Structure 1
């Protein structure tokens, strides 16, 4: 059983825990008086700002003017605090500590220490704010988890569908002509690339743009123009790539225009090196019958221009197999199942473990969605 499909879902617990903590802190604040506590916390911070501002100038032999300003500002601040303010006595006692004709750093330190009597309220507000953020994050996590569950459900449903495949089906009827075609087209393309002029080869590649199911990457316009116009375009692609590695002094003996060859070919090396037959091959396990049938039709018109009859014949055989869609899909499903289902997954399919996982995922999603809908957004 997966950790996320336990009877008690961690995703639901995390959401409930975050909500419960926020609710607890809000209740505690309501018991004391939320607005009053926030006023006390604001007063605590204001008191510290006043003490910090005058701690240096109003002590010892410091500026007398600063001392007078501090005494007036701090006493006015405390006297104007609401009578019902929680811990008002703490502020009054802090004022008493600095209500002296002469102040030193120790007086300011003791006044600050006395304000510590409000820190539990400060922590309560900070904890409430942190709990609000954590609850917000927990709701986002819950939404993310629901999205993840939906993706997992799709995967598990697919696994169950693959489990229905006939693993004893003769998939070699499909595999053999596909492999024969792929091997043949790779070899034929290598030969065509090596033995044909770059001009003809790249013009051929360019013409494949009329076949959308044959995704050979089109040559850059600048490269195509170069091989069309330059006498060096009569050389093959491998030869031009080899020339591009020559020193300039050596290349002038081989190329009609050494500078142009260096400039046009060297800058397109990545494209030319990667231009191979893979876009012309058929994948294994194969795609659905209709997709293979349409693609094979376009491939025949492209591959037939350079590949031997045996390779084209293998492609025709694959295309012929697609006409019996029921048989093709039976073989295809078996091929996909063999390719994707390992021994452990097959055992879980046989034991019902995959089906139970699907049920648990659906239950978790339903439970989590209900909790999200039931709990307040903030």
Structure 2
């Protein structure tokens, strides 16, 4: 099939339909209704996505985007605290009641993503679902020509500006030759399980440190519980923890998390996913910007993944609006903001990990106490295990 000589044109093409991409689209249309904005979403609606907590402050961002009411109607569980067995076997609570940004919220991530995409459509963003980015060339006039694939068929679109919201792969930035700088080897092995009895009072996220990593568990709407083991890729594979039976045995050895899982069904599958901290070597350039995990990704211990995605989606949209209007400096300002936030995150991450001293000589904790940097990527595909 030949690609069109005169492909359809959009002022902005957004590659990725997660929270960062949807937020960017909504913000662009909010400030300039005349913009032709296309959002390209590669994944069909999945049963669930890892990353199910809105940190304090996310509600305010969603209210600013005009879609909090729709998110709340879709089903959320309010959480007034987190619990942690960190530095001690005894759990301690971190309550949000004194936070100026409010409480946290647990949600169905797939439904949440779709709610944000629907809000973007309502704002006037065109959405192509099940469409994958394949490649890009830039013409002499600076305009991008993007090659996409939808339903197995290639197609092309032209755009003046591009938002890379393609997640950790940063596929657009990678096509331009940009690369991430990694800070660790972290992966998660996750399952979502049905609770036999839903306890309405137990809405806290629980974090439990162990010898070579840590567990977190979190309730989500529908009477389900997310269980995730976090460790480094080499440790996970060396211990065989990507296999369901080994993962289950490891779960039973974590007292607080195992006690919580007693009320849940045994998962029939587990999923391995990359959770590595990284920052792209540059997060914006002439006529493009990276947002969300395409720009930088943070340790799930921060609980800030969705919050960061929404915030960078908005900030990336502001940078593009400056460029569209011919205002200089927006792109450079955006790069400074992302760089400064990532540096602060690295410092906070270092301090939190050093609070756990019980296993400081084991590989996982030793690496974090010395803030080991990893520049070369460790190959790890997202996979399902049984």
TM-score w.r.t. length of structure 2: 0.20
TM-score w.r.t. length of structure 1: 0.20
| Higher percent of residues as helix | 1
